[in-house]
Amino acid sequence: MKQILYKVPNGKLLRIFIDKDDQKIIDVKITGDFFVYPEEKISLIEDVIRGKSLDKEQLMKDIDEVVAKESIELFGVNAEGIVTALFL
């Protein structure tokens, strides 16, 4: 998997492992020194990214949606930071 390093502005360091082709994200693993509460729900964020088209706005919307629906709290990272990193 390709490794992407991205420092979220005013946040923590994201280290994303990603497999993608020209159209979509095949697999993703989001790692780094950020905080997600509850911790186990990071997999739900990865799930909404996996298999999706490379559409920045839609990805951002999908992440924001799952974060709101599942009452996930993010510190040092946000949907914009994750999506920005995915396209580096």
Q: Please list every residue from 22 through 61 that binds other proteins, using CB under 8 A.
A: 29-39, 42
- Helix, strand, coil percentages (3-state) for the chain, rounded to 5, are 40, 35, 30
Our CB check for other proteins shows the closer of 13 and 60 to be 13
* Structure tokens given for 80: 């914009």
Question: Least distance in Å: CB of 71 to other proteins?
Answer: 12
- The helix or strand, by DSSP H or E, that contains position 61, with its residue range, turns out to be helix 56-69
Question: Least distance in Å: CB of 23 to other proteins?
Answer: 26
Q: Please list every residue from 57 through 86 that binds other proteins, using CB under 8 A.
A: 73, 75-76
The strand ranges marked E within 1-88 are 2-7, 13-20, 25-32, 35-37, 73-75
User: What residue ranges bind other proteins (CB under 8 A)?
Assistant: 3, 5, 12-13, 15, 17, 29-39, 42, 73, 75-76
